[in-house]
Amino acid sequence: MNDVFGEPAEHTLTSDSVALLDTTLRDGEQAPGISLSPDEKADIARALDRAEVGFIEAGSACTGPGERETIKRVTSLGLDATVTSFARGVKGDVDLALDCDVDGITLVVPASDRHVESKVGTTRDGVVETTTELVAYAKDHDLWVEVIGEDGSRADPDFLEDIARASHDAGADRFCFADTVGHTSPEHTYNVVSRLAELGPTSTHTHDDLGLAMANVHASLAAGADLVHTTVNGIGERAGNVALEEVAIALHHCYDVETVKLDELYALAQKVAHATGVVLPPNKAVVGENAFTHESGIHTDGTLKDDAMYEPYPPETVGRERRLVLGKHAGRAGVKAALEEHGVDATDEEVAAVVQRVKELGDRGKRVTDADLLAFAEDVQGLERDRQVELLDLTAASGGGTPTASVRLRVDGDERVASGTGSGPVDAAVKAVRKALGPNADAQLDDYHVDAITGGTDAVVTVEVTMSSGDRSVAVAASDADITRASVQAMVDALDRLLAPTPGVSEPAASADD
């Protein structure tokens, strides 16, 4: 890696020289509104371990009995990763961490004067003395120890050096430069971390309040740091931490440095998004919905000719698949490819007619689903298709008891009635549909998305679902003032497409919306 400031770096990165410490279960959970259950923390810890993340901060043992039980749950999993607990600069926190059977601690001590004097009420000499004592105590109990100088980016660099030197002399495994409030620049980071790295192993902890978390990570690595603190999806306090998946892929792609199993990244991101309720922005690097999605006619045509034409690395690298979607920017190549993936053989004239309809729908601000595309093709080709499944009636209730729903469907000409219960009216209705269809309902619900498309209490909502069966997948949208009806209608329409091929065309393969 070259020094980002022009001079050759003294520190060359290799696959053995950089590791990641993930703090999703501690710093990530400190984001407003996030509270992970013990089961969720255990599941995320296992996923991090499958991705071969080297260090996992499981929580803060000092938080309370519930948190300690959760940390114990993680330490009992037999993970390959080094599992740590966050600990403040007091002996009691170290003891609580030991009770949780962790492998190590991240020991946080104040570094800036506002933290030393205003927050903790001590002196610089007092911080150095306490740090020395606590590191020695933790090492006497066979813990891996990393000392973090809190608010280090706003600390006097000379004092930060004093803490780091004392930490290493007492036996600490490393010292961490912490940009606790996302305050600093890459230049300042480089200068300070360069000094710290001369004293011993150094790590970096960055926040994204200025949008500089990733830049400060790379400045730290160029300066000699060899461990990066991350969170999955970049969740964390305020604007969040640097994202694990972004650090990992950037080091792989730009510097041939391997830190984790990259093909586990997307599954890991989805797991954390589901557990935390923090939805991934569509334009997010690596794991966002749009990262490997192409709509523009020029881009789609180029991608069909050469996978790497408009992508920096193959989506399979991070456990993803490429998607071609249709909208106002669609071109003939993209529409033709999408039709072929559904087994539709169309002439150039028919493709041109479908393109026109796709653009017209896109101009109205609508996303073109697979069902829309196939309906356009059927109309252009003059084909008629008998529905396999049709929703005739739906009733749902959720007030005062267990949510229930009943549906009446027409399936292959026969009427079927079924009822179901669930965690909510939508869940109950979906279960009723599956019960009515029996073995025919073995399709998997891959994605469920709701958008309100009008304002007010009488808002119309659009529900879009993606369902798959075998190697076939279809995306369908339905709109209604009732979210339950819109959800069931979308699901029934998707099942209708999946249960039988469109008349006059061959058996579909995979959808462009896979």
Average pLDDT, the chain: 86
* pLDDT confidence of residue 327: 67
All CATH 3.30.160.270 domain ranges of the chain, comma separated, are 389-499
* pLDDT confidence of residue 398: 76
- The whole-number average pLDDT for the span 149-161 is 97
- pLDDT digit string, tens, across residues 54-76: 999 999 999 999 999 999 999 99
* pLDDT confidence of residue 2: 47
Say how far apart CA 465 and CA 369 lie, in whole Å.
Answer: 10
How many CB atoms are closer than 10 A to CB 367?
17
Length of the chain, please? 514
Phi then psi dihedrals of residue 70, to 5 deg: -65, -45
The helix (H) or strand (E) run that includes residue 137 is helix 124-140
Q: If you average pLDDT over each of 65-69, 160-164, 415-419, 428-432, which comes out highest?
A: 160-164
All CATH 3.20.20.70 domain ranges of the chain, comma separated, are 26-276
- DSSP 8-class letter at 440: G
* pLDDT confidence of residue 79: 97
- The whole-number average pLDDT for the span 424-438 is 88
Say how far apart CA 23 and CA 27 lie, in whole Å.
Answer: 5
CATH topology of domain 389-499: Double Stranded RNA Binding Domain (3.30.160)
Count H helices, E strands: the chain? 16, 16
Greater confidence (320 vs 337) lies with 320
The pLDDT-based confidence of 298 (bands split at 50, 70, 90) is: very low
Say how far apart CA 498 and CA 395 lie, in whole Å.
Answer: 24
Q: If you average pLDDT over each of 239-248, 413-422, 429-438, which comes out highest?
A: 239-248
Task: Give me the residues paired with residue 447 across strands.
Answer: 466
- The whole-number average pLDDT for the span 421-442 is 85
pTM (2 decimals)? Answer: 0.76
Closest CA to 200 of 227, 218, 180, 219: 227
* pLDDT confidence of residue 511: 36
Greater confidence (438 vs 64) lies with 64
Q: If you average pLDDT over each of 8-17, 221-230, 477-486, which comes out highest?
A: 221-230
Say how far apart CA 84 and CA 146 lie, in whole Å.
Answer: 10
- The string over 496-507, giving b where at least 16 C-beta atoms fall within 10 Å of a residue's C-beta and e elsewhere, is bbbbebbeebee
- The whole-number average pLDDT for the span 94-123 is 96
The pLDDT-based confidence of 190 (bands split at 50, 70, 90) is: very high
CB 431 within 8 A of CB 441: no
Say how far apart CA 297 and CA 197 lie, in whole Å.
Answer: 49
The amino acid present at 381, given as its one-letter code, is Q
* pLDDT confidence of residue 504: 41
CB 216 within 8 A of CB 187: no
Q: Among the CATH numbers 3.20.20.70, 3.90.1150.10, 3.30.43.10, 1.10.3720.10, which is that of 26-276?
A: 3.20.20.70
473 pLDDT more than 50: yes
The amino acid present at 497, given as its one-letter code, is R
Say how far apart CA 333 and CA 284 lie, in whole Å.
Answer: 26
509 pLDDT more than 60: no
* pLDDT confidence of residue 297: 46
- Distance set, CA 452 to CA 132, 456, 459, 463 (Å): 57, 10, 6, 9
- Residue 376 structure tokens: 């356009």
* pLDDT confidence of residue 471: 67
CB 350 within 8 A of CB 297: no
Q: What percent of the chain has pLDDT over 70?
A: 85
- pLDDT digit string, tens, across residues 335-379: 777 777 777 788 888 888 878 877 776 776 666 777 677 777 877
- The whole-number average pLDDT for the span 416-443 is 86
Place of tokens 């196939």: 374
User: Which residues touch 68 (CB under 8 Å, ≥6 apart)?
Assistant: 61, 96, 99, 100
The pLDDT-based confidence of 303 (bands split at 50, 70, 90) is: low
Phi then psi dihedrals of residue 471, to 5 deg: -100, 15
244 pLDDT more than 90: yes
- Distance set, CA 42 to CA 24, 33, 104, 288, 319 (Å): 12, 19, 18, 24, 22
Q: What percent of the chain has pLDDT over 90?
A: 55
